[in-house]
Amino acid sequence: MSQADIEIAEVGYDNWNGGTELWTVFLRVPVSVFVSIETRRDEVAGIISKHLERKVSGAPFTRVWDSSKEASR
């Protein structure tokens, strides 16, 4: 995380239930970091997801969290 460039972007909108905004948090890290956690990527994604879910759950949010995943560029 300390080496990541972080971007939060609204990536969609659905009229469901009075309107639902869809957001994505992008964490861009150097290739060397991405490769160094290759065997632990699912674990790292789960840890990030858990911490972000804690930060964005509750009022005024309802169901705000879906999942996290990693991807290379």
Q: What is the pLDDT of residue 68?
A: 61
Query: Could you give the C-alpha distances from 39 to 1, 45, 68, in angstroms and in order?
Result: 17, 12, 16
Q: What is the pLDDT of residue 25?
A: 83
pTM check: above 0.75:
no
pLDDT (average), residues 55-66: 61
pLDDT (average), residues 28-43: 89
Q: What is the pLDDT of residue 63?
A: 56
Residue 19 pLDDT greater than 70, yes or no: yes
